Amino acid sequence: MPTPSTLGLFAAAALALLIVPGPSVLYIVTRSASQGRRAGLVSVLAIHTGSVVHVVAAATGLSAILLASATAFEAVKLVGAAYLIWIGLNRLLGRGARDEQRSATPVTMRRVFRDGVVVNVLNPKTALFFVAFLPQFVDPGRGPLTVQVLVLGLCFIALGLMSDSAYALVAGTIAPRLRRRSRARRGWGQRASGAVFVGLGVVAALAHRPEPA
């Protein structure tokens, strides 16, 4: 098991990384701003369900294998990028809005959750964090490496749930007030969220695989 000092240092470093807005935060803020705080909090749970996948992959060595293979890395990167860009274009072109208008339940939390998991699972940068950053806090002399990675990963997820929930609550509180001030901007949320999804896809597509040591 990691020592208390190691856990404290890791928590401080992880929190510093978590509070800086990145693809996951952008996804959460977009969902919360356009669909309310409930959707924002569901997206937080989804993002960190994806984090669980990365923690388990890092603990079992799958992430290292993925990053060691240029073909596997490129495949995951491009699939994730294409999915995000597809979602974004649908929203920019208004298809998502028309689908929601035809549906008896305009926004399903299941879809919010599903998309959030995909955003994080198919984000190569998340895998890079768990492979390049987390192992620095693992000490072979403190017991099984798998257990240490799991403990550190769960610490990261717990901190992420708190920091990302704060983003979701703030965005969900402010956005309705902004929308009420200008009815002429009724479609801004749809277009903004579409642009964010396309941006996330571009970021994923441009991610570089680190050179093997």
| pLDDT averaged per 10 residues in sequence order, the chain, 213 residues | 81 80 82 87 94 87 63 68 74 59 60 88 72 73 80 91 93 74 52 69 64 48
User: Is the residue at 100 inside a domain?
Assistant: yes
Angle at 114 between CA 39 and CA 69, to 5 degrees: 135
User: Is the residue at 212 inside a domain?
Assistant: no
Task: Show the tokens assigned to 88.
Answer: 């974004």
User: Is the residue at 43 inside a domain?
Assistant: yes
pTM given for the model: 0.68
User: Is the residue at 211 inside a domain?
Assistant: no
Query: Helices (DSSP H) in 108-208: which residue ranges?
Result: 109-121, 124-128, 145-181, 188-205
What pLDDT is attached to residue 18? 80
User: Is the residue at 210 inside a domain?
Assistant: no
Q: Which amino acid belongs to residue 36?
A: G
What pLDDT is attached to residue 175? 75
User: Is the residue at 174 inside a domain?
Assistant: yes
User: Is the residue at 27 inside a domain?
Assistant: yes
Domain count, the chain: 1
User: Is the residue at 213 inside a domain?
Assistant: no
| Structural domain span for residue 143 | 4-205
Please enumerate in sequence order all residues whose Cβ is within 8 A of that of 36, keeping only pairs 6 or more positions apart, or say none. Answer: 172, 176
Q: 174: number of CA atoms within 13 Å, CB side? A: 9
What pLDDT is attached to residue 187? 54
What pLDDT is attached to residue 198? 76
